[in-house]
Every structure is written in structure tokens, then in C-alpha cells.
Chains A and B, each alone.
Chain A
Amino acid sequence: MKVLVPVKRVIDYNVKARVKADQSGVDLANVKMSMNPFCEIAVEEAVRQKEKGAATEVVAVSIGPAQAQETLRTALAMGADRALLIQTDADLEPLAVAKLLKAVIDEEAPGVVIMGKQAIDGDNNATGQMLAALLDWPQATFASEVVLNGSDAKVTREVDGGLQTIDVALPAIITADLRLNEPRYASLPNIMKAKKKPLDVKDAASLGVDVAPRLKVVKVTEPPKRSGGIKVETAADLVSNLKTAGVL
């Protein structure tokens, strides 16, 4: 079974996002960029499925600028077999990304799509569900365990207050949550090998998909700062302060 793994290039997880002074967005100039952490988990899961023999091929696909090739090389170094970049410099919304991915899937015909539940830049948590809707496929979001059985997948999902297990007919969309696995670090030999793996580039416009934005960003601002509080000396001081503040 072929597994398709969409990955996104985003600001590195350890970098604090800074809002631009003109409120037009977040400043990404000269900022370290990496693969979205949830996408890393998805790549890891796809590679593990292949190592277990439940999948035969792992195809990583990214939609983004030319630099997203680096992100795809990371996926290849982790163990993906080949990669595809749908190149665009536009800042795409989840619906547009889902439509482009649908066009890729129509061509690639994977047995399952495993992707991150959310990108840490836009924090939309929407693309996987939208893609499932556009394909009319079942969805298993926020996965913490995935068992592929050929014609279906048993997925344990993280829900409020616990876990839910469902069985979805394949093909399906699975989105990865944090505890699905711990992604590996690519070894140097694998990084070298990844340079020789196939990476195709297609112009996003060639897919004939309407990617016009539906939302206009009016402004991006800093959240209000909390004013600094006080240090107390003892637990008893703390309790009396909390009583005064009216929260005990």
C-alpha cells in the first residue's frame, strides 16, 4: 500500500514568533524554518508502517516555496521513498491546500494519507478534515495509534477526556497527534542517501485548482502582555494574597 504524507515547512518549533511592526504578519525573514512537528510524526508513522510491512511506498508531498525542498529532503532522510513539491509562493489557506492535495491524490492514488493534525504557524487544524471531505473519504483525526489492516485502519484517537477507537475503511485520511510516536533523527548516511532519492517539482498553477484566499488578513498583533506580578516569601503569604485577590 502506498502512503502519502503531506508535510509543511514552518517556523522552527523552538523559535518565538515575532509580529512585524506594520502588523502585516509574523516576521519570517532570517528565521530558522523546519518541518512542522506534527508532520514529522506523520512521516515517522508512515516509515514505521513500511518497516512493519503494512505499507510498501512512502511518498512525501509539500506545497510551498522552492525552499520546501529542504523539508522534503528531511522526509526522505527519515525514510520516505520519493517526494513531490507543488511549488507556489502564495500563502495558502487550508481549503486551498486540501484542494491541491486532492489533485495530487487523484493522480497518485495512495491507499492512505497520514498527515499532521495541525501546523504550528496557522494553528488551523483543518487541512486533513477538509481533504477527507473533498475526497469523500473517512477521517481518523488526532491519532495516537494506527494499525493498517489492508482494507481498513484501526485508529485510536485522542478525544477530550480519554481515547476513542474507530475503524475506517481505506482509503482514508489519518491525522497525527503528539503521542503517536517519537520521530527519529535522520542519520548522516541517510541524509546523504536522501540527496539521491527522487524529488519532483510541479508548478501549483499546473494543477488547475482555485486557490484564491477566502480570508483577508486585516492585521496581526501581539497578544496583550500580562503585567508582572509579585514574589511572595512563604506559602502562608501566598494563601493570604490569594484570599485578598478573591480566588480562594
Chain B
Amino acid sequence: MAVLVIADHDNASLKDNTHKTVTAALALSGDVDVLVAGQGCKAVADAAAKIAGVRKVLLAESDALGQGLAEAVASVIVGLMGNYDAVLTPATSQGKNFSPRVAAKLDVAQISEIVEVVDGSTFVRPIYAGNALETVQSSDAKKVITVRPTAFKAAAEGGSASVETIGAGDGAPKTKFIDQQLVKSARPELTGAKIVVSGGRAMGSAEEFQRVIEPLADKLGAAVGASRAAVDAGYAPNDYQVGQTGKVVAPELYVAVGISGAIQHLAGMKDSKVIVAINKDGDAPIFQVADFGLVADYKSAIPELMDALTAAGK
């Protein structure tokens, strides 16, 4: 059985989601190749070649691939699937975009966002916003799978695979890329951060969110997250959203400030190693999943926490 992993990258650097997806792939087969599809991304391919356990790296480059257009990426993958029994893609917004297109072109099911590999055809995936886990067995000859990266450990460095340049596929003739507005931030990326500080609707305004949550995050070297309620209210940008409809995170430490703990938020962070909840409502559902709960108004608790962190040498 040979398995293809689709690398997650931004044309400049390889993302850790790739290493985690390689781990899932290695649970299926020892023959794991990585596809780097992009533009001007030779350095990404070289980085992928250093992941332990990778047999070969395939590099496909074109403008449409560099823009991540689904039609273009899917066409490269479909062209390669004669050589592979399974393709695994990190379940990022990019991966979720093209992977089902690959599945339909191959006339197979997609097995979405797996969190466990049981055997070569059996996988576990969350359904109903993480309120249930479904174990499914695939009868398709080729498996098209997206992988929830936070459920797998990153594969180690130390490989020395070869990099082979391949054709760039059919492009995306009916789609034109216009532009991309990415939020520039010195903070770690939300899905890969070791610590995440999230704010909820209790913040009351975007100014308050920035005044309270961001300094605490910076003190901890943390990424900033938000509940859907805070995002919907306009207190935080959309890509901060942690939850079933936003990002799924599993950091070492998750600090929820003024978040009540709606089911949809819990689905996005309940696999964090240590959860801290700060909320003035002692009955808030967030305390049922929190390892450490502080029942207090964030307005007094966060300044005290900042002081306590300073006292502790942070």
C-alpha cells in the first residue's frame, strides 16, 4: 500500500500539519510520499524531504497551485492516484477545499477529519460537533482522507528523501485568483500554538477584547482565540474563532476568559492538555471541562493574573 500526503504550506515554509498527517499516513503504510503543490516552493519540498519516514517528495509548481486553487490542486492529485492507494490531507481550510473534489473525481467517499487510524480501511472521526465519534470502514479501492492534525503527533525530522519535480496538472481555467488578505501577526499560529488565550462575549467590545486578551496572550507567548459569540459580535476577527465551525486546537494550555462553554466551542478545544477557565458565573459549562477554574470577573482576575505571572518570572 502506498500513501500520498499533501503538504500544508504557504509557498515559503512547511507547516507542522504536514508532519502530523505523515504520522497518520505511517499508521497505514511504510510507503509514504509527500506532494508539495505550490509556486516557488522548492524550500518547502526540501523541508518535507527531511520528515522521518517519508520515501519521496513530489514537487508540482504553477501560479494556480501557488494560489491554492482547488481545481488546480485536485487535478495534480487525481493524476497521481494511479500510483497510490490512499491520499491524506491535513483538514485545514485549504485541504477541506480540494480534497472532496479529488474524492468525487475518483468516485470514492471522502473520510473527513479522522482522529484515529484503526486499520488500513477503518477510521474514527468526530460527528455532531464532536458530540459523537464515528468508526467507519471504507469499501473503496482508493481512500481519500482528511486528517484532523491536532489528533496526531508530529512526525520527527531526520529523513533524507529525494525531491522529484512533476507536472502541474490542468490548472484552474474557470477560476481567477484576485487577492489574499492575510492577517499579519507576531503571535504563534492558532492551530499550532503551545498556549492559547481565548476571549468570549463577556469582553463586551473589540477594544476590551484587545485590552484584556492580547496582553495576556503576549505575556504567555500564546496565540489568541475567541468564541463564536465573540466573533459574531465583532469583538474578534473570524480567523480567531475556536470551535466546531472555526479552528480546532489542542494546545498544552488553553485559557478561556469570559467564555461560557457552548457545545460548539468545547468541540474546538476540549482536547487541550490543560484547560483554565476564568468566568464570573460559577455554573458556566466551561468549568465542567476546565482543569483549573477561577470564578471571578475577568476585569479583576486578568490584572491579578498578569501580576502573578510577573511575580512567577513570566
Contact = CB atoms under 8 A, between A and B. Distances in A.
Interface of A: 11, 16-19, 26, 93-95, 98, 118, 120-134, 137-142, 144, 154, 158-169, 172, 178-179, 214-223, 226, 228-236, 238-243, 245, 247-248
23 contacts: A17-B129, A95-B110, A121-B128, A123-B126, A123-B128, A124-B110, A126-B100, A126-B110, A129-B97, A132-B101, A133-B74, A141-B96, A165-B178, A166-B177, A178-B228, A223-B132, A231-B287, A233-B294, A235-B305, A236-B304, A238-B305, A239-B305, A239-B308
A159 B113 CA distance: 17
A78 B289 CA distance: 38
Given A238-B308, A247-B253, A142 B122 contact: no
Give the interface SS of chain B, mostly helix, strand, loop or mixed. Answer: mixed
B136 A218 contact: yes
Interface residues of B, number: 91
B136 A215 contact: yes
A226 B26 CA distance: 28
Contacts of A95: 103-104, 107-110
Given A17-B131, A245-B274, A142 B238 contact: no
Interface stretch (B42-50, B137-145, B201-209): B137-145
A152 B245 CA distance: 28
Which among A18, A118, A235 has the greatest number of chain B C-beta atoms within 10 A? A235
Contacts of A239: 305, 308-309, 311-312
Nearest to A178: B245
A132 B228 CA distance: 29
Give the interface SS of chain A, mostly helix, strand, loop or mixed. Answer: mixed
A110 B263 CA distance: 37
Contacts of A16: 131, 263
Given A130-B101, A229-B290, A154 B93 contact: no
B57 to A, nearest CB: 22
Given A218-B137, A236-B308, A242-B253, A130 B104 contact: yes
Contacts of B244: 120, 123
Contact of B132 (A126, A164, A220, A229): A220
Interface stretch (B79-87, B158-166, B168-176): B168-176
B134 A217 contact: yes
Nearest to A98: B104
A226 B289 contact: yes
Interface string B160-203: 00000000000010111111111100000101000100000000
B234 to A, nearest CB: 10
B301 interface: yes
Given A239-B309, A248-B312, A164 B100 contact: no
B141 to A, nearest CB: 10
A139 B111 contact: no
B176 A167 contact: yes
A97 to B, nearest CB: 11
